[in-house]
Amino acid sequence: MAKAMVKRRGRDPDVTRDKLLQAAFEEIYRRGFQAASLDTILAKAGVTKGALYHHFPDKASLGYAVVDEVVKGFLLERWGVLEPPSRDPVTTLQRILRRRAANLTAHEVELGCPLNNLAQEMSPLDQRFRRGVSATFDIWTAAVAKDLARGQAEGTVRKNVDPRKIAAFVVASIEGSFGLAKSAQSAAMLRSNLEVLRWFLESLRPAPKR
């Protein structure tokens, strides 16, 4: 309550921290973590090295915070993990894929998925990075698997498939689609791949009774 009234100018540590996280996210998103320059991040954030090393012990910790506090939310929000599902899971997933395909920006076709970028770059190099990234993927996958399992219980998803395996494959296909499209710099390819994935999802519906 006392916090909301405060009107310090350029002296709020939370604001400074957020500016650092946001600037670091953008720089890491484009160049990767290792190639991300602290000086560039500081310039973009409009603060100095003193501020950075006041809030974070080192560069790696800044990266971990970017994963946990920026990329994670970014991803889960974009893929509808946070919103409660309606209807049957197949239709819900298809709708999310369609919405994402329709809302693609040139920026994200060029740069791909920030979580996947970090996964590929840092997984073999830094255990803590890997764990943070992997945990986020797990949340996403588990949410999809849970939906599919619910669909099986409600009779909207065929029962001879493993929800967790299907969910992992769906997430992998999405990330792979973004990755290939990023390499080809082609939004059309990305849309096409997501369309095939929607078609695959269709095959998860129960076989029509005969």
Q: Interface residues with DNA (CB under 7 A)?
A: 6, 8, 10-13, 16-17, 36-40, 47-51, 53-55, 58-60
By the 10 Å C-beta count (0-12 exposed, 13-18 middle, 19+ buried), 91 is classed as middle
142 binds its own copies (CB under 8 A): no
| Residue 139's binding partner out of its own copies, DNA, none, with CB under 5 to 8 Å set by partner kind | none
User: Is residue 22 a contact residue for its own copies (CB under 8 A)?
Assistant: no
- To DNA, the closest distance from the beta carbon of 74 in angstroms equals 22
Q: Of the two residues 18 and 32, which places its CB atom closer to its own copies in the complex?
A: 32
Least spacing, CB of residue 16 vs its own copies, in Å: 28
Nearer to DNA, 39 or 102 (CB): 39
**Of the candidate residues 22, 173, 187, 205, the single one contacting its own copies (CB under 8 A):** 173
How would you write the chain as a 3-class SS string?
CHHHHCCCCCCCHHHHHHHHHHHHHHHHHHHCCCCCCHHHHHHHHCCCHHHHHHHCCCHHHHHHHHHHHHHHHHHHHHCCCCCCCCCCHHHHHHHHHHHHHHCCCHHHHHHCCHHHHHHHHHCCCCHHHHHHHHHHHHHHHHHHHHHHHHHHHHCCCCCCCCHHHHHHHHHHHHHHHHHHHHHHCCHHHHHHHHHHHHHHHHCCCCCCCC
Using CB under 8 A, which residues numbered 43 to 102 contact its own copies? none
Contacting its own copies within 116-135 (CB under 8 A): 116-117, 119-121, 123-125, 130, 133-134
- With CB under 5 to 8 Å by kind, the binding choice for 188 among DNA, its own copies, none is none
Site residues, its own copies (CB under 8 A) = 30-32, 34-35, 110-112, 116-117, 119-121, 123-125, 130, 133-134, 137-138, 165-166, 168-169, 171-177, 179-180, 182-185, 189, 192-193, 195-197, 200, 203
